[in-house]
Amino acid sequence: MSKHPLQYLELSRRDPETEIPEVRIKHFDEIYQSYDGAEAASQAGRCISCGIPYCEWKCPVHNYIPNWLELIEEGRLFEAAELSHQTNSLPEICGRVCPQDRLCEDACTLNNGVGAISIGNIERYITDEAIKQGWRPDMDNVKNSSKRVAIIGAGPAGLSAADILARGGVSPVVFDAYPEIGGLLTFGIPTFKLDKKVVKMRRHIMEGMGVEFILNTHVGKDKSFSSIYDEFDAVFIGIGTYQQINGGLISEDLTGVHEALTYLIGSVNQQLKITDSNNPYIDLSEKNVVVLGGGDTGMDCNRTAIRQGAAKVSCIYRRDEANMPGSRREVVNSKEEGVDFLFNKQPIEIVGKEYVTGVRVAETKLGEPDENGRRLPELIDGSEEIISADAVIIAFGYLPNIPKWVSDHSVNSRSNGCIEVAPKDHLPFQTSNSKIFAGGDVVRGSDLVVTAVFEGREAAKSILSYLSV
């Protein structure tokens, strides 16, 4: 219970300072500053310790949020860090990239009226500050076994699986095609949302826990999966989703039309001074840019183009603002930074001959809900118009692209292309091949970082059971 029961009334929610848009659009550094200890404690003290912690249950990893808020209010930083890591392997990253406004903070009892607890910012503060002060995971009571597990993919699912395995006394070896860990945490999410030093620090911590990383290694090309399968006691597959969803639009192949992921990876590579011929740097300075898609990837493209010095950035979405799938905070940031949103407009065709000159759209109205409860956009007859553009970014999301070596080892996939897990009489996240486990986007489809974290952790627990560790 809070020492100051009325603190939520006496003290309003206050987020860390943010650079003004006119300044932050001139660089790619993180835009949010951090709390100091006193601010974190006072903001944490606003929690009223609800009898039913809705925030905790809305969180995909079910963080012990009220508990670590109380610890921070009391100044018990290292205890808060340990507690945070009991449910989340990447809390400092989730604190930065999770859409808290749709998850824990949305469910906060105080959200309707006085302002939700600033959970994400405090979560970020806990681990950032604890690491700065010398905290490291306590591995003193870990009993090392002789078991070794290969992890394919160093994204959030793979990293979280490695964390749990290492704490369970198993030696994880993580393979990834990229030169750094993180997957899209490093190469897909722009640096103004997630400084890559944060990911590198997580690598340093995990290596200190006994996790081995073998990078710049494309499984199936540089090293055969069969050799990995034979060498290790179990295998976890967390390769994510990287195949672009195309809109089926006419003339998507015109010069000036770009896939979102290629664009974002190229931008990060340029900042990290990494050469990658598959993802070249795409400079949109002085361009009239149109982004198609209203999720977080679309917002990342919006804000990257702004920072590159685009003359104009417009974002087209086929539903209204209330039905956008991404973080509300990212939409607000995009608006503040100068992005023009065109809602209720359905892209129909990319316009141009050799080079793109625009996007033909039609106005929409929301009709009946689909099987997921989202209202379907319906085209309005006679409403077509052309939105001028000399660069178009397609950000409709991603699909899994399962390598052949997966099926070659008797791992079944579902009709949507994702890996099937937990068939009858199998452990959670165990595939049809009992030695192989999988989790994250490759199982669920494109989803949140925190969801991948949860599934990687749960898969690792199943692996420990499988190995009888």
pLDDT of residue 2: 46
Angle at 363 between CA 359 and CA 367, to 5 degrees: 130
φ and ψ at residue 104, rounded to 5 degrees: -60, -45
Domain 148-241+400-466 classification at class level: alpha beta
**Of 337, 342, 387, which Cα lies nearest the Cα of 364?**
342
- The C-alpha atoms of residue 381 and residue 377 are separated, in whole angstroms, by 13
In this chain, the answer to whether the domains covering 148-241+400-466 and 247-397 adopt an identical fold is yes
Instruction: With beta carbons less than 8 A apart as the criterion, state whether 347 and 245 touch.
Output: no
Q: What is the pLDDT of residues 334-361, one digit of tens each?
A: 999 999 999 999 999 999 999 999 999 9
Instruction: With beta carbons less than 8 A apart as the criterion, state whether 282 and 266 touch.
Output: yes
Domain 7-132 classification at class level: mainly alpha
Burial 40-53 (b: 16+ CB within 10 A, else e): bbbbbbbbbeeeeb
Residue labelled with tokens 């890591």: 85
Average pLDDT of adjacent 10-residue blocks, the chain of 469 residues: 65 92 97 95 93 94 97 98 98 97 95 93 98 96 96 98 98 97 96 97 98 97 98 97 88 96 96 91 98 96 98 97 90 97 97 97 92 88 97 94 95 95 94 98 95 98 97
Q: What is the pLDDT of residues 158-168, one digit of tens each?
A: 999 999 999 99
What is the token pair recorded at 168? 């369970």
Would you call 259 helix, strand, or coil by DSSP?
A: strand
pLDDT of residue 325: 86
CATH of 247-397, one of 3.30.70.100, 3.10.620.30, 3.50.50.60, 3.30.70.20: 3.50.50.60
- The C-alpha atoms of residue 457 and residue 462 are separated, in whole angstroms, by 9
Would you call 196 helix, strand, or coil by DSSP?
A: helix
- The C-alpha atoms of residue 307 and residue 285 are separated, in whole angstroms, by 9
Instruction: With beta carbons less than 8 A apart as the criterion, state whether 49 and 1 touch.
Output: yes
Instruction: With beta carbons less than 8 A apart as the criterion, state whether 427 and 130 touch.
Output: no
- The C-alpha atoms of residue 234 and residue 232 are separated, in whole angstroms, by 6
Domain residue ranges in the chain = 7-132, 148-241+400-466, 247-397
pLDDT of residue 369: 86
